Amino acid sequence: MTIEKEIQRRRTFGIVSHPDAGKTTLTEKLLLFGGAIHVAGAVKSNKIKKGATSDFMEIERQRGISVATSVMGFEYSGYKVNILDTPGHQDFQEDTFRTLTAVDSVIIVIDAAKGVEPQTEKLMNVCRMRKTPVIVFINKMDRPAQDSFTLLDEIEDQLQIQVCPLSWPINNGPDFKGVYNIFTKSLKLFDPSIQEIEEGLQFEDVSSAELENHIGDDAETLREELELVEGVYPEFNRQSYLEGNLAPVFFGSALYNFGVDELLHAFLEIAPTPQPSTAEERVVKPDEKNFTGFIFKIHANIDPNHRSRIAFAKVCSGLFERNKVYTHTRLGKNIRISSPTAFMAEQKEIVEKAYPGDIIGIPDNGSFIIGDTVTDGEKIHFKGLPSFSPEMFRYIENADPMKSKQLNKGIDHLMDEGVAQLFTSQFNGRKIIGTVGQLQFEVIQFRLEHEYNAKCRFEPLQMHKACWIESDKPETLVEFKKRKHQKMAKDKLGRDVFMADSPFILQMAQDEFKDIKFHFTSEF
């Protein structure tokens, strides 16, 4: 098959949701369709239950599982589908955001009873920023749900995207009768005792009295609602979806495997093929001859005795081949990747070739950091892997003076993996760790001890935000750094960061230094 054909048949996407909305269940059902797994329960939720007595065990367990399940590829009806899993726990949201840089589209799962939840909103913000096309799956229709129109309003308001229902539910909860597929004009009846995929009943016209035979009085309600849907929502427009302006919506119940095949079929038909990637130097198209790829995730090995890691690379262009000599652009070094792995559902296997849209795992012992680029020789840097301004800060101190080398190495490695962010105060030289959640501090402490044999201690630090600063006027920057020297730090790449104690202090600095831009992500 030509490389163009390989590109055309690839669909690389992420499934995201607020915890508990049904992401894991839906992923599993999609894999069952693809024949990638054969029994339910094979995909483990990578959730960490906060407060569980064995938090650390949970963390370890999750790390083990998520290596296996962070990428799931399968073949279905001529397509090569790559699902990228994202951690649900909000303390690991940065990991999720980075994973979203490697997908071409997203399916957002929403709990029909709870509607849009905080994490859904944050994830959608990232999609909007990157103009990623999204499809919404409203899940758990077998349980009492909010009114469908209310849900759609909520999505439009809170997720700030126009919606276009492509299926419509008939009741919900105990009265849930099924969904009408607006896309294919067919009705599928819900029967909780059947989880097999069944053909829907075809209806040329919803006014057909035949409908009453299947759903009784609900037929009339369905007709009215469909009329309303037609009047209120725009017709589906693929271009608008691909531009990230319109979200098709499906209703169903992942648990009962209901509405999932409609979702999958529509997804395969409309979802984008691997898209061009923007590098600082130029835009890289998937069908270019030369290979390019970037590292979006690094995973430590579960076996603490072998401190090797897996770097996950997304193929952006060209054909990747095992054992070919490529360039590690940041180090300016030639590398040969002898055991790249591909992920087919539960299994990892060595691959000879990979195409744009594919994800490969590269065994690594410390030469990659997130954002690194591998190419056929060209020196390019892909954009879009920002660090977000952390929300919690602590000084990190060595708790075992005999092990300072191990500690520094461990901190270095963990930061490369993107576990948290490290800043060095320019005032007192102390190391500051910034995270988005408390759990990350626990992970760092635990992993330093178990993988690097080093002990650390955290000391409280009252801090509101770290912002990257920039200005066209070098003299203003110098002046600012002088005035705020107690609050200046460098990030891991040596960039200037202003550590603001409080929103008030930040506001004052912004008011006073109008020529300085304060950025809340590291990429601007």
Residue 335: CB minimum distance to ligand GDP, A = 36
Helix (H) or strand (E) holding 183: none
The tokens describing 186, both together, are 């067919």
Query: Annotation-wise, does 87 bind a ligand?
Result: yes
Query: Annotation-wise, does 140 bind a ligand?
Result: yes
Torsion, CA 165, CA 199, CA 261, CA 220, rounded to 10 = 20
Query: Annotation-wise, does 431 bind a ligand?
Result: no
Residue 379: CB minimum distance to ligand GDP, A = 40
Would you say 20 or 55 has its CB closer to ligand GDP? Answer: 20
Residue 112: CB minimum distance to ligand GDP, A = 8
Would you say 64 or 363 has its CB closer to ligand GDP? Answer: 64
Would you say 105 or 257 has its CB closer to ligand GDP? Answer: 257
Contact positions toward ligand GDP, by CB under 6 A? Answer: 17, 19-25, 45, 47, 88, 139-140, 142-143, 253-255
Query: Annotation-wise, does 18 bind a ligand?
Result: yes
Torsion, CA 506, CA 507, CA 511, CA 515, rounded to 10 = 40
Would you say 17 or 435 has its CB closer to ligand GDP? Answer: 17
Question: Rounded to an integer, what distance in angstroms lies between the CA atom of residue 469 and that of residue 520?
Answer: 9
Residue 108: CB minimum distance to ligand GDP, A = 11
- How many Cα atoms within 13 Å fall on the side-chain side of residue 513? 24
485 by Cβ neighbours in 10 Å (0-12 / 13-18 / 19+) ranks as: exposed
Query: Annotation-wise, does 131 bind a ligand?
Result: no
The candidate with the shortest Cα–Cα distance to 387, out of 95, 131, 106, 100, is 95
Query: Annotation-wise, does 21 bind a ligand?
Result: yes
Query: Annotation-wise, does 484 bind a ligand?
Result: no
Would you say 108 or 152 has its CB closer to ligand GDP? Answer: 108
Would you say 19 or 200 has its CB closer to ligand GDP? Answer: 19
Question: Rounded to an integer, what distance in angstroms lies between the CA atom of residue 119 and that of residue 473?
Answer: 38
CB 424 within 8 A of CB 432: yes
Helix (H) or strand (E) holding 90: none
Residue 190: CB minimum distance to ligand GDP, A = 11
> For the chain, how big is the Rg over CA atoms in Å?
25
Ranges assigned E (strand) in 89-161: 105-111, 134-139
Would you say 79 or 190 has its CB closer to ligand GDP? Answer: 190
Query: Annotation-wise, does 485 bind a ligand?
Result: no
Residue 161: CB minimum distance to ligand GDP, A = 20
Residues near 279 by Cβ (< 8 Å), separated by ≥ 6? 292, 373, 380, 381, 382, 383
Residue 20: CB minimum distance to ligand GDP, A = 4
Bridge partners, 34 (sequence order): none
Query: Annotation-wise, does 23 bind a ligand?
Result: yes
Binding site for GTP, by residue number, is 17-24, 85-89, 139-142
Binding site, by residue number, is 17-24, 85-89, 139-142
